[in-house]
Structure 1
Amino acid sequence: MSPQLHGLLQPARLAGLELRNRLIKTATFEGMCPGGVPGEDLIRHHAAMARGGVGLTTVAYCGVSPDGLTFPDQMWMHAGIFPQLQRLTAVVHGEGGAISAQLAHCGYFSRNRPLNIPRPRGPSACINQYGLFSGIPVGGAMDASDIGRTVAEYAAAASLVRDAGFDAIEIHMGHGYLLSQFISPALNHRRDAYGGSLDNRMRLPLQVLTAVRGAVGRDFPLLAKLNLSDGFKAGLQIEEACQAARLLEQAGLDAIVMSGGLVSRTPMFLFRGASPLKQMVPLEKNPLQRTAMKWFGGASFPDLPFEELYFLELARQMRRTVDMPLVYLGGVASAEGMAQVADEGFEFLALGRALLHDPELPKRLQHEGETWRSACTHCNQCVASMGLPGGIRCVLNEPTAFA
């Protein structure tokens, strides 16, 4: 086994947390919280990741408020689900793993009717294509009170997460959700202190980071998922992404999970491989939305050739910009690729589809060493499986999932 691969499998520290290795199960929305409550499927899912040997498993999309959800069956962090959160963390710890919660807010990108406001809100007024056929076709612009309330909600959610036994928090600043909407020049058209220059567009993400840090303390690990690029010309590009990373580093962030793409426009920039649209369409419950997906969804979900380590060149630029730990994500499919990532100075490695296919991957890597290669075919049907009963799964392991 190469020194680089061996190093990934050794214990490592992330702020005040000791991890058994440098492998992270990245946040991939599970679809396992019926009615917004963490279910047994969610517990089994993350227990399997921990049992398989991953250092840190990440619970995806933990909304910080009811109006921060894209649809009703997502989890939001409140005292009513505290016992389920405690059980989730206890089971993962019992399997020898550590667990992180990804705190998120959808901004304007929602099909969920907000409780106290007439429409979902983000940095600027806009067409809400995701809610077009659900009666909320327009997103509004957040005002000062909205911003202050949202920052406080992140802090409250962080306190709940820490008290429930989670070991780390990932603040979602990517993929076109609220904080990403503020960062992206294509989505933020404000003319006040929260728009215009990158310093202004980073103001809310930095305020959220400061509030979360104040809620959990100095040694509690805080990561952020940040786009390297939005994946289209008018969006965030790598140069500004690197500047954003520098600002986050200066503000005390512990690590960045590097990613890319907007769910609303360029999801295949993140996934690569075969489009899951064919499997997604029949699962859509809204007939108008289903028809729109069938006829126009190909523009957002085209096949996009998979290549191993597809974010590496962009990630290298961020590596040259900051000294903080960086988590590489994107197209890791072999032991050779893992070793290259480690050799190029990335402290941690995040995996999604490869671990969905085989939660025992870390243990298998110990035995197979340099010969390991993922059997994931990058068909991306796991993306569609989020809408199936029981939530996300690798369809190679369940070939009748879409029968």
Structure 2
Amino acid sequence: MPHQPPDAFQPAMLGPVRLRNRIIKAATFEGRTPDALVTDELIAFHRAVAAGGAGLTTVAYCAVAPEGRTDRHQIWMRPDAVPGLRRLTDAVHAEGAAISAQLGHAGPVANAASNRVPAFAPGKRFNPIDMRFTHAATHADVRRITDAHANAARLAVEAGFDAVELHFGHNYLISSFLSPALNKRSDQYGGSLAHRARFARQTADAVRGEVGDTIAVLAKFNMDDGVRGGFGLDESLEVARWLAEDGNLDAMELTVGSSLLNPMYLFRGDVPLREFAAAFPLPQRWGIRLVGKRFLRSYPYRDAYLLDEARRFRAELDLPLVLLGGIASRAAIDTAMADGFEFVAMARALLHDPDLVHRLRDEANATSLCTHCNQCMPTIYRGTRCVLTNPANATRS
């Protein structure tokens, strides 16, 4: 008898958590936490997505340590943050959705000048964003940051989150340890693939040990850095198998790209170079205008553009998988379900229209009206939004 794919708009289990559907709002830094704490604006942002029908919305970015932020305005997980996070989770639950906290450490992507503390990476590396060198993480740093992930997960439970998503992608700290282009170490955290994967596996184990089965644990995991000599599909598949066999994850959200070296490999579509440059102060603005085309490369957009790579993971892994990338139509969702993916995640489409999930559910031919202009990307510094549907705040500082 032919396999009947699941209906993406019916309830589903994500580990111990029952979601009302299989649609996840992917993590996109909201730019609404000027004091590194929850604001009413952040609550309104996620309440709108929840009211619009998403099964799970993901809060980004909840750093596990103060130096793990891309700038000092991001939330970092500490007791002072819990009351506001509880207000946020309560608001989302009141709309019928579940809520996840993306936990991670920015590592070489962190802005040390903004954070006013050194940034860490597998080794010393110059960061042109903050014009400083990262520090090579010591074994003590790795242990501290691993423990910080577990502590952050415990605080997420206290704050009422249904899930945590571990950030193992985009060349943030743990992803940078996986990359042979960024990790030149010769100790137990560098060299062989097994050594480079040790940090990720230890972190997932520590988090699961802390939260047990009280909440779902996902990982956002790079299939391909999109960088010459970086972490690619063959190595990624092997590490994904190890993570699945370890039994610490309830699902894996598959992603690509490097926030450090090739961010457009994830986003695809238009490259808003002028808008990006304008979001930075001098002299970074000049630098982005001069070399931005080499950093912000152009990749064409198409629906479900990560599907081909993700199918290799679906064929190899006995673990629920979340398909990300160009999920902007009912057709793309139906294809993902037919191909065996348990969940789909969308970001830009929900920035354009937070009510899109209801429309996709009710209309067989529904599609997002997002144009993939990517002008939402530079707005992360002053309140992430779609400039097509929310132009009034375009000049907000």
In structure 2, the CA distance between the partners of 1:104 and 1:205, relative to structure 1 (3 Å rule), is same
Q: Which of 369, 376, 382 is 1:382 aligned to?
A: 376
Provide Cα deviations, 1:15-55, integer angstroms capped at 9, x if missing partner: 11000000000001111111211111110011111101100
Aligned partners of 2:183, 2:198: CA distance in 1, in Å? 12
Corresponding residue for 1:172? 167
Structure 2 residue matching 1:371: 3-state secondary structure: coil
Rounded Cα–Cα distance in structure 1 between residues aligned with 2:115 and 2:373: 37
* Identity over aligned pairs, percent: 44
Matching residue of 1:395: 387
Please give the secondary structure, in 2, of the residue aligned with 1:263. coil
Counterpart residue number, 1:41: 41
- Residue 325 of structure 1 corresponds to 320
Equivalent residues in 2 for 1:13-28 (5 A)? 13-28=13-28
**Matching residue's letter, 1:254:** D
Match of residue 227 from structure 2: 232
Between 217-226 and 164-173, the greater mean CA deviation after superposition: 217-226
Indicate if the aligned counterparts of 2:352 and 2:370 stay in contact, CA closer than 8 A. Answer: yes
Task: Show the counterpart of 1:131.
Answer: 130
TM-score scaled to structure 1, two decimals?
0.94
Counterpart pick for 1:276 among 252, 272, 275: 272
Hey, what's the Cα distance between the residues in 1 that align with 2:111 and 2:153? 25
- One-letter code of the match for 1:376? C
- CA distance in 2: counterparts of 1:164 and 1:402, whole angstroms: 32
Aligned residues of 2:154 and 2:210 also touching (Cα < 8 A): yes
Give the Å deviation of 1:69.
1.0
- Partner residue, 1:248: 243
Of 121-130 and 353-362, deviating more is 121-130
3-state SS of paired residue (2:277): helix
Mapping of residues 79-228 of structure 1, within 5 Å: 79-113=79-113, 119-132=118-131, 137-228=132-223
- The superposition leaves residues 354-379 of structure 1 with CA deviations (integer Å, 9 ceiling, x where unpaired) of 111111111112221x2101100000
Q: Distance in 1 between matches of 2:392 and 2:271?
A: 18
| Separation (CA, whole Å) in 2 of partners of 1:5 and 1:265 | 37
Q: Please list, as runs of the form range in 1=range in 2, the aligned pairs for 1:257-336 lying within 5 A after superposition.
A: 257-285=253-281, 287-336=282-331
Whether the aligned pair in 1 keeps the contact of 2:227 and 2:258 (CA below 8 Å) is no
Contact kept? 2:121, 2:135, Cα under 8 Å = yes
Does residue 345 (structure 1) correspond to residue 340 (structure 2)? The answer is yes
- 1:279–1:402 Cα contact (<8 Å) kept: no
Question: How big is the shift at 1:205?
Answer: 0.8
- Kindly indicate whether the alpha-carbon contact (under 8 Å) linking 1:4 and 1:342 is maintained by their aligned counterparts in 2: no
SS in structure 2 opposite 1:372? Answer: coil
Distance 1:296 1:167 in 2: 42
2: CA distance, partners of 1:102 / 1:144: 24
Q: Which amino acid aligns with 2:312?
A: Q
Could you tell me which runs of 5 or more consecutive residues in structure 1 were left unpaired when the two chains were aligned: none
Q: Residue type of the partner of 1:25?
A: K
Verify the 8 A CA contact 2:220 2:254 in the aligned structure 1. Answer: yes
Q: Does the aligned pair in 1 maintain the 2:104–2:167 contact within 8 Å? A: yes
Mapped partners of 2:391, 2:114: distance in 1 = 38
Aligned mates of 1:124, 1:313 — CA distance in 2: 33
| SS, match of residue 7 in structure 1 | coil
Q: Distance in 2 between the 1:399 and 1:109 partners?
A: 29
Q: Which amino acid aligns with 1:208?
A: T
Question: How far 1:219 moved relative to its partner?
Answer: 4.5
More off after superposition, 265-274 vs 276-285: 276-285
**Which among 358, 361, 385 is matched to residue 363 of structure 1?**
358
| 1:127 Cα deviation after fit | 1.8
Residues in 1 aligned to 2:252 and 2:171: alpha-carbon distance in whole angstroms = 16
Q: Tell me if the contact between 2:72 and 2:115 (Cα under 8 Å) persists in the aligned partners.
A: no
CA distance in 1, matches of 2:64, 2:6: 38
Amino acid at match of 2:365: T
1:309 CA displacement: 1.3
Structure 1 residues 402 and 298, CA gap change in structure 2 (3 angstroms): farther
Provide the C-alpha distance between the structure 2 equivalents of 1:146 and 1:334, rounded to a whole number of angstroms: 43
